[in-house]
Amino acid sequence: MKKKLRTYLAVSYISRNAAIAAAVLSITSIAYCGEIQNAARDGDLKSVKALLKADPHLVLDKDKYAWTALLWAADKGRKDVVELLIADKADINAGDKNGETALHLTALKDNAEMAELLLAKKADPNARDGNGETPLHSAALNGHEEIAKLLLGGNASVNAKDNLGATPLEYASINGHKDMVELLISKGADVNAANNNRSTALHFAAVYDQKEVADLLLVNKADVSAKDSHGKTALHLAAIYGHVDIAKALLNDKAYVNATDNVGSTPLRDAETSEHTNQAMIGLLKEHGGHD
């Protein structure tokens, strides 16, 4: 049950970031990079200048993984090299094979100074990678609040959806980044936005036992009765995973204890049949009138 739920709720958001990091490590070999990419990566400003003087077109050159010198310099925090490349007409919104731009990489690395520079030079805060993620999605998932503020100040869409329909608010809720959730809501994030599986941020908070995030979402009018594509409410999910404190918060916010999913299962039935259940959860649901 847990594996199934994580598959359709988490949609590999966390593992994907780990995959990106692994991919970056795998392409740091000189064998995959051109001379200008190597120089940019290493912060060798003198060599970058010499190479561009000899062949100005190198500013747009891409290595085996479609990384330009600008991508390498931004990823490694080489500000002086980034400034030089932009001045020499580098494409600031060029993406790698997955569509990751310099601003995506900077958001992931939590480099506020670099993000500020890129935004000032007209980097697109709403650029989407191959998964439909914007830089704000990455900042939200990783709790990079200063980056998020810069992106939002640069007109990043707070309710942008990735290819699976998930917003930055849902990303932030997965990892329990309360301050990020609060920031996004203050900037107009829709607390009831649902992804392609009709899961909301409250569903994610319930699955990942993010009590503080759940409380914040509820205070901001998150819908406790919202059902995902399986007909599960957040209370169903809290019951399945045995997250008693989440269940209490939901019940205190008038969650219907006997809501039924697509196959007629109630939270109590889910609790009784889940590998994660405990007597405290069963007792809580029965105390509030739950039945199977």
* Digit-coded pLDDT (tens) for 74-90: 999 999 999 999 999 99
For the chain, the 3-state helix, strand and coil shares in percent, each to the nearest 5, are: 55, 0, 45
CA distance 179 to 239: 26
pTM, two decimal places: 0.88
Element (H, E) at 120: helix 112-120
Q: Which amino acid is at 255?
A: A
25 phi and psi angles, rounded to 5 deg: -60, -35
What is the distance in angstroms between the CA of the first residue and the CA of the last residue of the chain? 18
* Digit-coded pLDDT (tens) for 191-218: 999 999 999 999 999 999 999 999 999 9
CA distance 191 to 110: 25
User: How much is the pLDDT for 32?
Assistant: 58
CA distance 261 to 278: 21
Which tokens belong to 115? 């993000």
User: How much is the pLDDT for 277?
Assistant: 75
CA distance 191 to 78: 37
CA distance 90 to 157: 25
Residues 6+ apart with CB under 8 A from 55: none
Which tokens belong to 283? 């007792």
Q: Which residue in this structure is represented by tokens 């690395």?
A: 109
User: Nearest 5 degrees, angle CA 201-CA 109-CA 124?
Assistant: 75
- Which residues of the chain fall short of a pLDDT of 50? 1-16, 18-31
